[in-house]
Amino acid sequence: MSDTIEKIKCLIIGSGPAGYTAAIYAARADMNPILYTGLEPGGQLTTTTEVDNFPGYPEGIDGPTMMMQLQAQAERFGTQVRIGMATAVEFSTVEGGWHKVTIDNNKVVLAHTIIISTGATAKYLGLPSEQRLRGGGVSACAVCDGFFYRGQDVAIVGAGDTAAEEATYLANICKNVTMLVRKDVMRASKAMQHRVQNTPNLTVLYNTEVDEVLGDQVVEGLRVVNNVSGEKQEIALTGLFVAIGHKPNTDIFKGQLEMDETGYLITQPKTTKTNLPGVFAAGDVQDKDYRQAITAAGSGCMAALDAERYLGELGSH
């Protein structure tokens, strides 16, 4: 193997709360981590204005500032943060083997341990008015942003278990919730459908799609269309929650790492270990249930500790 190829003890792919927390721990354990940011430095939280639920910020903090602080904390202990995207991987299947990662299609690095924290991307409807009002009343995270709409009227789009669960979550804090379901049935489990039906301030509109999100700076309402009759109606409300799924950013790992049917990486219970030695996964990329900054950060910590133990057992640390 050529000596000119850079060899890294701990490579972290992704710069969200999971990646930076892993970096803080790995750097403090003298693992000299190198972190590649990907196309969204700072991750999903850079798309939100207010983070109110991350412990340690009694007044709340805006997402981009919080992520700059996490980066600074990781760099303080020596993490090298590099702009770049992992575009291909060739993982070793043997204990102690070097994992090969290509950055931006041209640079190859070898890593003894890899922490994958590439997150997941929320799906949106794709309407221009929806994109314009993201952060102004349109959100893809009810648990994160529902609180800002307490006592107000909101809508949620989606028909699966997550949408049903988020709809009932919103119904607990909002005045009225309208759930928009594209088909004439919900995909959610029967149990979740019963919960929805038994929630008095939650109304389901079937065969209904968003035609336009109304409002200039902030959401003021929705124009919806019945996709059977073609009839349109306007609903006055202040928040629109899109719950039509997430896409985990795992395409480059296909065929090498175990994933579930939607592409989430599978980790061994109570660890961040993937099916390959020395490859760990943290944050939303391996968690479709909680999807919060604090849980991502927690698993980032676990991944760094798992990687350190792995190196220790090999005698390379």
Ligand X SMILES: Cc1cc2nc3c(=O)[nH]c(=O)nc-3n(C[C@H](O)[C@H](O)[C@H](O)COP(=O)(O)OP(=O)(O)OC[C@H]3O[C@@H](n4cnc5c(N)ncnc54)[C@H](O)[C@@H]3O)c2cc1C
Please give the angle made by the CA atoms of 164, 182 and 149, to the nearest 5 degrees. Answer: 50
Residue listed under structure tokens 């070097």: 98
Q: Which of 300, 273, 270, 269 is nearest to 284 (CA)?
A: 300
Phi, psi (5° rounding) for residue 151?
A: 75, 0
239 lies in the site for ligand X, by CB under 6 A = no
Task: Kindly indicate which of the ranges 133-141, 160-168, 230-238, 273-281 contains the residues binding ligand X, using the contact rule CB under 6 A.
Answer: 133-141
Residue listed under structure tokens 């190196």: 311
Kindly state the smallest distance separating residue 190's Cβ from ligand X, in Å: 29
* Residue 208, C-beta contacts closer than 8 angstroms, at least 6 positions apart: 180, 181, 182, 224, 225, 226, 227
Chain CA centroid to CA 210, Å: 24
34 lies in the site for ligand X, by CB under 6 A = no
Interface positions, 195-234, toward ligand X (CB under 6 A): none
Chain CA centroid to CA 234, Å: 31
Tell me the catalytic residues. 141, 144-145
Which residue of 9, 19, 27, 29 would you call a contact of ligand X, by CB under 6 A?
Answer: 19
Residues that contact ligand X, how many (by CB under 6 A): 43
Question: Nearer to ligand X by C-beta: 122 or 186?
Answer: 122
Q: Are 110 and 5 in contact (CB under 8 A)?
A: yes
Which residue of 294, 301, 305, 314 would you call a contact of ligand X, by CB under 6 A?
Answer: 294
Q: Are 234 and 214 in contact (CB under 8 A)?
A: yes
92 lies in the site for ligand X, by CB under 6 A = no
Q: Which of 137, 151, 158 is nearest to 205 (CA)?
A: 158
Which residue of 11, 133, 164, 293 would you call a contact of ligand X, by CB under 6 A?
Answer: 293
73 lies in the site for ligand X, by CB under 6 A = no
Kindly state the smallest distance separating residue 167's Cβ from ligand X, in Å: 17
Which residue of 24, 27, 37, 221 would you call a contact of ligand X, by CB under 6 A?
Answer: 37
Task: Kindly indicate which of the ranges 17-25, 150-158, 169-177, 309-317 contains the residues binding ligand X, using the contact rule CB under 6 A.
Answer: 17-25
Q: How large is the greatest C-alpha to C-alpha distance in the chain, in angstroms?
A: 69
* Residue 65, C-beta contacts closer than 8 angstroms, at least 6 positions apart: none
> What is the pattern of x (binds ligand X, CB under 6 A) and - over residues 245-284?
----x--x------------------------------xx
Interface ranges with ligand X (CB under 6 A): 13-19, 36-41, 43-45, 47-48, 51, 53-54, 85-86, 117-120, 122, 139-141, 144-145, 249, 252, 283-285, 291-294, 296
